[in-house]
Structure 1
């Protein structure tokens, strides 16, 4: 057997454990975390007239946050956000999030691509929201990052933030794509990532593979959120709809997608 762990090793282990146990935060820290998540959710939404009108108020709220790495990143973003012409903000948002697959805000796309598994992941997210008594009102898909962030803020650090932790690699890819594009929105993703466990070597390798190869692609529809196929495994505790009966005719070949993932 080896000797006792070194002091630096003990410190690293304790830091990792603290990051992975957000439920042990004080009530004040939990409230501050929820506010940060809500701010990130707001700042990642389309900059329509209502949001751009509230820029001064958002800047004031960010400036009042306790000094943290997340607050510093948000302050850098809101400084840019407040100074831009509204039409320029709209164009920049569309370019970053609607026209680039590597910075799309639909999280299950990075984990499952255009496959049947993505449909089940969307269904699982909806089930999680409903079990917590939260209705998304159907305005966006349940994996849209601002929606996931709002749920995390409402439901708390444990189960509420579980979808963010599950999609850590997709968030890393979005952050990398925004940073490579020199977009100030990279600061918003950076603020979010400071709240999550640090990436593992496996995470970094998976992100590198996503950059090189992209997500899996099966060219299937998402309505009504798809099902698992034969030989595929659903996440534990999820409802798996029965497989459909074999078709009595040959279906037409699927058409290729020409728009960003949704």
Structure 2
């Protein structure tokens, strides 16, 4: 019998996934053995995809991994790691959603670096694992449709990071009818004022009247 992921499993899986979704560097490669030990006791639905991604890390050179990361997450909007982007695009509503993330972090005593957006999936997973598990889980569930769209985009592209999203999805409730409808709608129409995502991603949502784009900084991430 395959057991489901419990609370402790989820925290461990979120911490591992947070590290694996960050920009790959020597520090990450040096943590592979530690990560393998950490995921070994997780439920199979969580352990197997994470172990598969760690196998990928063992088989690839760091420069190639880094180049693949940039090509996947920096150059493909449909593989965006910023959760609020899927629901709000670059509208003022996205700014309000980002504030909700910041308030949740501040309540838990977490202060982000200047310029680091709070909805980056690696940041949210880190918060859920080490900050406030219940609040972090709430944020992930609230953006379940965006997570699923990202997972599907990575799967469609044959990306090794799809396994990491599979593990994250295994820690969350199954998609409901409402969330399935949201995924289908996003896949067909894309985020507000954007034409990105899974094919075909046709006409974008119409933004609310008077809601123009809000310039948002990119997170501070190391690049060679």
TM-score by length of 2: 0.81
Structure 1 residue ranges without an equivalent (≥5): 1-18, 20-24, 225-262
Q: Distance in 1 between matches of 2:124 and 2:105?
A: 9
Trace 1:1-262 onto structure 2 (pairs within 5 A): 29-62=6-39, 64-138=40-114, 140-217=116-193, 220-222=213-215
Q: Distance in 2 between matches of 1:203 and 1:33?
A: 21
Instruction: Find the structure with the greater CA-based Rg.
Output: 1
Shift of 1:223: 5.2
Q: RMSD of aligned C-alpha atoms?
A: 2.0
Note closer, same or farther for the CA distance 1:223–1:171 as it changes in structure 2 (3 Å cut): closer
Contact 1:109 1:215 in 2 (8 A): yes
Structure 2 residue ranges without an equivalent (≥5): 194-206, 218-224
Shift of 1:150: 0.8
Q: Distance in 2 between matches of 1:199 and 1:30?
A: 19
Q: Distance in 2 between matches of 1:220 and 1:182?
A: 32
Contact 2:108 2:132 in 1 (8 A): no
Note closer, same or farther for the CA distance 1:215–1:76 as it changes in structure 2 (3 Å cut): same
Q: Distance in 2 between matches of 1:167 and 1:73?
A: 21
Contact 2:9 2:43 in 1 (8 A): no
Aligned residue pairs: how many?
Answer: 197
